[in-house]
A and B are shown apart, each in its own frame.
Chain A
Amino acid sequence: GAVVSQHPSWVICKSGTSVKIECRSLDFQATTMFWYRQFPKQSLMLMATSNEGSKATYEQGVEKDKFLINHASLTLSTLTVTSAHPEDSSFYICSAPPGTASFSSYNSPLHFGNGTRLTVT
C-alpha cells in the first residue's frame, strides 16, 4: 500500500534556530501533501496544503513566513519551522493522497507519516 515517510521522527533544537522536516511518498507520486500539527491531548489541526510546483496554501492563522513549505518534487515536501520558539513544540504530521487525480484514486484515503516530535528548548 501507499507509504508516507517522515524524517526525522523527533528533533530537539534551541530557541531561535530553524528545523526542516521532510515528508516523502515512497511508492507513489503526490502532487498534494498536507501538513498537520498536534499539541498534547488535542486533535490534529491542518496547517497547510503543499502543492508540487506552486505555492502552498495556508490555513487561517498559520504564519506562512514562519512555516516554510517547499514541494519541489512529486515525492518530497518539506516543512521548515523558522526561528523556532518553545510554543512551536508540537507533533508535526504530513499526509498525502496516493496516485494522481484519476478515477480509481478519486476517493482513495489519505496516508499519513508517523510524525515528527519537535521540542524547542
Chain B
Amino acid sequence: DAKTTQPTSMDCAEGRAANLPCNHSTISGNEYVYWYRQIHSQGPQYIIHGLKNNETNEMASLIITEDRKSSTLILPHATLRDTAVYYCIVRVTGANSKLTFGKGITLSVRP
C-alpha cells in the first residue's frame, strides 16, 4: 500500500505557483520522498526527490517539513503543459528499490 496521502485534485492559474501537498506521516529514516508526474498516456516523469533538506532543480522545489511527515512540491510558474497527475512516493534507500504509486493528485492549470 502507498504510504502517502494526497488531495484528489487541485487547480491553479497559468503563471502562478502550484503548491502540491503530500502527507507521509509514517515515513522511515531510510526513505526518501520522490515526486513524479504523468501526463495522459505517457510514462511517469521524474521531477525531484529529497531526504530531509529542501531541494530545488530546474523543474520544481521540494519542501520537506522538519519532522519529515509531510512535504510540498512547488512548481514556481505553472504552465498549461504542467497539467498532469502528480505522484508523491516514499522509497526505501537502495539503487534497485521499487516505487509504489498511490492515487496521486490531478493538477489542472487553467489559462
A-to-B contact residues, CB < 8 Å: 4, 6, 31-32, 34, 36, 43-46, 49, 91, 93, 95, 97, 99-102, 105-115, 117
B-to-A contact residues, CB < 8 Å: 32, 34, 36, 38, 41-46, 49, 51, 87, 93-96, 98-104
A-B contact pairs, 6 of them (CB 8 A): A43-B103, A44-B44, A46-B101, A101-B96, A107-B32, A115-B43
Q: Which residues of B contact A108 (CB under 8 A)?
A: 95
Total cross-chain contacts (CB, 8 A): 65
A107-B49 in contact given A43-B104, A93-B43 (Cβ < 8 Å): yes
Give B62 Cβ to nearest chain A Cβ, in Å. Answer: 12
Q: Report the Cα distance A49→B96, complex, angstroms.
A: 10
Residue in A46, A95, A97, A114 whose beta carbon sits within 8 Å of that of B100 in the complex? A46
Query: Is the pair A109, B94 in contact by a Cβ cutoff of 8 Å?
Result: no
Q: Given A46-B99, A49-B98, A101-B95, list of 4 further CB < 8 A pairs?
A: A34-B99, A91-B41, A101-B94, A102-B95
